[in-house]
Amino acid sequence: MANRIHPSILNANLAALDSEIARIPSADAIHLDVMDGHFVPNLTLGLPVIECLRKNNAGRFLDIHLMIENADVWAPQYAELGCESVTFHLEASQAPIRTARQLRSLGSRAAVGLRPQTPIEPLADIITEFDMILIMTVDPGFGGQRFLDGMLGKIARTRQLVKASGTDIWIQVDGGVSEETIDRCVDAGADVFVAGSAVFRSDDPDAVVRALKGQADL
Ligand code: DX5
Ligand code: ZN
């Protein structure tokens, strides 16, 4: 299993992203939350900013989390920038298989995200179209929310589906992940962990990343 920590910059200083990213050298990827004010009631950054981050951070794995409508139109454009992984939400896609295939053909990993109230079962027969499944463990839109324990069953069912598929699809959890909650996610079967406020509200973000990595050591 992957055992990866992908810190989210949502609670970092968004006006100084390059230096914030430089503070977490131990991170396995940088999780970038793109919000459009429609799919979620918050607005962050988009293609022009990601394009600059890509240029300034060659060598870093960019994990794009799109919380935007019209995902089928926008997601491939992030892959075209050279981002290593692009996650779009199932709820915002009319053609998830086609979009996933397009992402892969553009050289990106294809990932799909689920809001807390969206079940995993609709993905059961098409799971191998994706390289990662993102299980949201808060309502998407804001950092600093409390982890939803009710999602642990969904993580476990996703792990069963991945096991049955005989592939190594990553299972990512995002929302309220911290040194206090990560063990539950590991036990349930997640292997890629997004942590925002837990990392960037610390005086030593990289120490938190290393601590989380130790806890996630599967
Ligand atoms: C929330 C975002 C998350 C968020 C996580 O909608 O998708 O990536 O930044 O922040 P914490 O870890 O504070 O819940
Ligand atoms: Zn996210």
pLDDT digits (tens, 9 = 90+) for 13-59: 999 999 999 999 999 999 999 999 999 999 999 999 999 999 999 99
Q: Is 147 left (phi over 0), alpha (psi -120 to 50) or beta?
A: beta
Q: Which ligand is nearest to the CA of 141?
A: 1
Task: Assign residue 119 the CATH number of its domain.
Answer: 3.20.20.70
The runs of H, that is alpha helices, within 11-166 are 17-22, 47-56, 71-80, 96-105, 152-165
In angstroms, the CA 75 to CA 130 distance is 14
Percent of the chain with pLDDT over 90: 99
pLDDT at 14: 96
Structural domain total, the chain:
1
Mean pLDDT of 73-100: 98
The residue whose CB lies within 8 Å of the most ligand 1 atoms, and thus the one to mutate among 5, 6, 9, 10, is 10
In angstroms, the CA 143 to CA 176 distance is 8
Domain limits for position 36? 4-215
| Atom nearest to 147 CA in ligand 1 | 14
Q: Which ligand is nearest to the CA of 65?
A: 2
Task: Name every protein residue with a CB atom under 6 angstroms from any ligand 1 atom.
Answer: 8, 10-11, 31, 33, 65, 138, 140-141, 143-145, 174-177, 194-198
Q: What residues are designated binding site for substrate? A: 8, 65, 141-144, 174-176, 196-197
Nearest CA to ligand 1 atom 12: 196
| Atom nearest to 145 CA in ligand 1 | 14
The four Cα atoms 198, 38, 61, 183 give a dihedral, to 10 degrees, of 40
Treating both helix axes as pointing N-terminal to C-terminal, what angle do 96-105 and 71-80 enclose, rounded to 10 degrees?
10
pLDDT at 50: 98
Q: Looking up tokens 């179209």, which residue turns up?
A: 129
Q: What is the mean pLDDT of the chain?
A: 98
Q: What share of the chain is helix, strand, coil (3-state, %, to 5)?
A: 40, 20, 40
Q: Is 166 left (phi over 0), alpha (psi -120 to 50) or beta?
A: left
| Atom nearest to 65 CA in ligand 1 | 7
First to last CA, the chain: 7
pLDDT at 135 over 70: yes
Q: Hey, what are 194's tokens?
A: 């997004």
In angstroms, the CA 176 to CA 160 distance is 23
Nearest CA to ligand 1 atom 7: 140
Residues noted as catalytic = 33, 174
pLDDT at 218: 62
Q: Do residues 20 and 186 touch, judged by C-beta distance below 8 A?
A: no
pLDDT at 47: 98
pLDDT at 79 over 70: yes
Distance set, CA 72 to CA 66, 139, 218 (Å): 11, 21, 34
pLDDT at 38: 98
Q: What tens digit of pLDDT does each residue of 142-198 get?
A: 999 999 999 999 999 999 999 999 999 999 999 999 999 999 999 999 999 999 999
